Amino acid sequence: MLAHNVYFALTDNSSEAAEGLVGACKEYLCDHPGVVFFAAGRLNPDLEREVNDRDFDVALHVVFDHRASHDAYQAAPEHLSFIEEQKENWKNVRVFDSDVTGAG
């Protein structure tokens, strides 16, 4: 499997803007072929340990069954529309892709 984790820092990081991005993630990114796990949400304000990276407002987590599914997702019209509609408010975007295996 391939885990695709994206951390968005927003120019307008108001609650409304962050929730709007979470909603757009759910609308455009959750229902692609090969997705085995999807989640999007806001930074948890209560977790402030020394090791926590808090330089983001919204996180997106998508696990794909195979690399090919991830590659198709990157070129999918819904993904490209999401980027085009949302990128204006992105101050910084960090993407972490990793090969993963489940428990057991």
pLDDT per position as a tens digit, 31-47: 999 999 999 999 988 88
**Cα 76 to Cα 28, 38, 81, distances in angstroms:** 10, 16, 9
User: E strands of 1-101, at which residues?
Assistant: 2-10, 35-42, 58-64, 90-99
DSSP state of 59: E
Residue 45 gets which letter from DSSP? T
Each residue's pLDDT tens digit, 2-32: 999 999 999 999 999 999 999 999 999 999 9
Note if the pTM is more than 0.85: yes
Fold of 2-45+55-99: Alpha-Beta Plaits (3.30.70)
Q: Where are the domains of the chain?
A: 2-45+55-99
Place of tokens 């085995």: 36
What pLDDT, on a 0 to 100 scale, did the predictor assign at position 48? Answer: 79
Beginning with the edge strand found earlier in the chain, give each strand of the sheet holding 58-64 in spatial order.
Answer: 35-42, 58-64, 2-10, 90-99
Asked whether the beta carbons of 38 and 61 are under 8 A apart, the reply is yes
Q: Are strands 58-64 and 35-42 parallel, antiparallel or unpaired?
A: antiparallel
